[in-house]
Homo-oligomer: A and B are copies of this chain.
Amino acid sequence: MRAAIYNGPRQIEVGDRPDPVIVEPTDAIVRVVFGSVCGSDLWYYRGLSPHALGPIGHEFIGIVEEVGPEVRTIARGDLVVAPFTFCDGTCANCRGGWPSNCMNGGSFGNHGIDGGQSERVRSPFADATLVKVPGAGHTEETLRSLVTLSDVMCTGHHAAVSASVQRGDIVAVVGDGAVGLCAVIAATRLGAERIIALSRNRARQALAREFGATDIVPERGDGATHAVLAMTGGVGVDAALECVGTGESMKTAFSIARVGSIVGAVGAPHDVEVPIDVVIFRNVGLRGGVSPARRYIPELLPDVLEGRINPGRVFDFETDLEHLLEGYVAMDERRAVKSLVRVASL
């Protein structure tokens, strides 16, 4: 089959790999329909986060081609969403609701595990990992949104859930990448009354507004802090969603979070220092991390299928598997928010 291979920073190539086969009786083989490029893939591409040589890509939807003899809930022909990690569903972390921290799981598209930027993927623990999409004849728009359930929409949702966004809240979203934009959707969905998106990019500002942002703050750093505090009578926001992962974005999130609130952080951290004095003397908490996507997908799926949320709108670049690199380059050059990879037709 054709598959993307990570050969080192800025060296991602599409080449041939053996077709995956059922290894364990709980496996399934998925024929990928759509993959996509994650912000974390970009860190790998740039050489700023380590990645094993070999398959890459952890966001995909596809059609089940074959299942092992112990797979019960997934069958050949099913359209499935794969969360970015596989999980056994039975370990202490899975039972606790943290499937992305499964003690026997791992990430698709790293450390030799099949990646979603390829024609086929072997999914371990198919019952616990894959989520079957009910119905048929889904529109192109729906399919694009389903791809976001693999990671980015669940990650934005995790920022909002971690920050305990409540109906009526004032929420600020730090970061206007695909995760930040999905966090705006999540905050809207959870009933936030006012959503302040920090963005200085026109197109992203427009998308944030479409997703429910009521206010835009184009400033950064201290300027952003002053602007948000001025908008909230000096009190700060009820929930600050940190969707970047840099030291500056974390600092900004804590500086605008009101006393007693929680910073919901989902950005992969790079040179981040948590301001412990703000934690202790202003009672601002910090929660978040790797999204338990497998837990969230069943909750978000009906909203996608019934058109109440449309996170697929974050894809503003599309390519096919053979031209995958163009998707990386468009994001690297900030010409694209997020790249969709059309691997095959349904």
What residues of chain A have their CB less than 8 Å away from a CB belonging to chain B?
92-93, 96-98, 100-101, 162, 233, 235, 245, 258-260, 262, 265-269, 272-274, 276-277, 279-290, 292
Contacts of A98 in B (CB 8 A): 259-260, 283
Are B285 and A287 interface neighbours, CB within 8 A?
yes
Task: Determine the distance from Cα of A289 to Cα of B254 in the docked complex, in whole angstroms.
Answer: 14
- CB<8 Å pairs between A and B, sample of 20: A93-B258, A97-B260, A98-B260, A101-B260, A262-B285, A265-B280, A266-B280, A267-B280, A269-B280, A273-B274, A274-B276, A274-B279, A279-B288, A280-B288, A280-B290, A282-B289, A283-B289, A285-B287, A286-B286, A286-B287
A241 → chain B, closest Cβ, in Å?
14
Are A274 and B260 interface neighbours, CB within 8 A?
no
Are A281 and B286 interface neighbours, CB within 8 A?
no
A14 → chain B, closest Cβ, in Å?
29
A267 → chain B, closest Cβ, in Å?
8
Are A101 and B274 interface neighbours, CB within 8 A?
no
Are A286 and B290 interface neighbours, CB within 8 A?
no
Asked, given contacts A96-B260, A101-B260, A259-B96, whether A279 binds B289 with beta carbons under 8 Å apart, the answer is: yes
Q: From the candidates B266, B282, B287, B292, name the one contacting A101 in the complex (CB within 8 A).
A: B282
Are B101 and A259 interface neighbours, CB within 8 A?
yes
Task: Determine the distance from Cα of A274 to Cα of B265 in the docked complex, in whole angstroms.
Answer: 14
Contacts of A277 in B (CB 8 A): 269
A86 → chain B, closest Cβ, in Å?
16
Closest residue of chain B to A262 (Cβ to Cβ) is B287
A233 → chain B, closest Cβ, in Å?
7
Are B288 and A92 interface neighbours, CB within 8 A?
no
The list of the 7 closest CB pairs from A to B, nearest first, reads A285-B287, A274-B274, A283-B289, A101-B259, A280-B289, A98-B260, A92-B235
Are B288 and A283 interface neighbours, CB within 8 A?
yes
Are B276 and A93 interface neighbours, CB within 8 A?
no
Asked, given contacts A92-B235, A97-B260, A98-B260, whether A281 binds B289 with beta carbons under 8 Å apart, the answer is: yes
